[in-house]
Amino acid sequence: MSYLARGLARCSLVAVAAGAAVTLFAGSAAAQSGEAPPLPPRVGWELGFGVYAGEINCENERGNFCDGVTEAGGFDLHASYFFSPKLGLTVDLWPMFHTEDDWTFTHTVAVVGLKWRPAPIFTFTAGVGSAQARLRYEGIVNLDAETETVPAVLFAAGLDLVRGKSFALEVQARAGIGFYEEDDTGNGEADVVGRNVGVGAALTFF
């Protein structure tokens, strides 16, 4: 795993562990002091970010290139507006990176979508947008190449570990898929598909 991916993985683990510790402490304090007052519903604007460890993988039905998996780390920036405690709109930008020697491969998924919160601690996200892959070399000479922007989808599921009056820390699993080639093989699917897959922690303010 690259240094960047290892660093982001550590950040994700630390955030999740810290959230779990705060949750246990808060639960113990509430038990000692009596029942805590209910928190206000989450309605209106929400802004946040997350850090994730996982992989970038690629599938090519033509077999020419890109079949394989590489460890990666990344982050996301998200902004949402909830019309009600259960339903909202969201914008999400999620790059994942793999760095090795002087090479850096980046796969970015950016979407607009819906967030559904069936219970106060569970949040599900689905969105559509675009994806782009970029390869950069920084050495004796600098090289930079990127693909065209292609259609993409994103799916995510989160569980709140800590909830305050104006913030929430959640553990989240997500997958973003970019469709890079048309269906030349005639099977109803894009011939080249790139995916971000990650698990980590997200902090959201509202």
Q: What is the DSSP string of 77-114?
A: EEEEEESSSSEEEEEEEEEEEEEETTEEEEEEEEEEEE
Cα(82)–Cα(126) distance, integer angstroms: 14
Angle (CA) 135-138-142 rounded to 5° is 85
All residues at 6 or more sequence positions from 81 whose CB lies less than 8 Å from its CB, including other chains: 44, 45, 46, 88, 89, 90
Mean pLDDT within 72-101: 96
Lowest-confidence region among 74-78, 128-132, 142-146: 142-146
- DSSP 8-state code for residue 40: P
Cα(77)–Cα(199) distance, integer angstroms: 15
Domain count, the chain: 1
Alpha-helix residue ranges (DSSP H) falling in 158-197: none
Cα(199)–Cα(13) distance, integer angstroms: 10
Taking a C-beta distance cutoff of 8 angstroms, is the pair 53, 5 a contact? Answer: yes
Mean pLDDT, the chain, rounded, equals 83
Q: What is the largest CA-CA distance in the chain?
A: 65
Angle (CA) 110-192-98 rounded to 5° is 55
Taking a C-beta distance cutoff of 8 angstroms, is the pair 82, 44 a contact? Answer: yes
Confidence of residue 141 (pLDDT cuts 50, 70, 90): confident
Residue 50 structural domain? 3-205
Angle (CA) 203-205-113 rounded to 5° is 80
| CATH label of the domain that carries residue 183 | 2.40.160.20
More confident residue, 177 or 17: 177
Taking a C-beta distance cutoff of 8 angstroms, is the pair 185, 158 a contact? Answer: no
58-71 per-position pLDDT tens digit: 887 665 556 577 89
